[in-house]
Amino acid sequence: FDTPGAHWFDFTPDGKLLVVADGPTVKLFAVGSWQPAGELVGHEQAVGAGVFSADGATLDTGSLDRMVV
């Protein structure tokens, strides 16, 4: 996979997805095949941090645009 602007990454709590912040977009990749599994949008500037809820159902991200999504 290609993410030249990656500023943050993490694995989902179940280990099935790699989550990568690439500028204002958060990209999801399936572990093993490393194929794209989706994208999350909502920020206007680069995402620099993220945290999963304990059950892995929610991902909150923070960005240079001062928003938490």
Model pLDDT for residues 25-59, shown as the tens digit of each residue: 999 999 999 999 999 999 999 898 999 898 989 99
- Pull the structure tokens for residue 18: 């790699």
Distance CA 41, CA 61 (A): 10
Q: Quick: pLDDT tens for 3-25.
A: 666 678 899 999 999 999 988 99
The three-class DSSP label of residue 65 is: coil
What pLDDT does residue 11 have?
A: 93
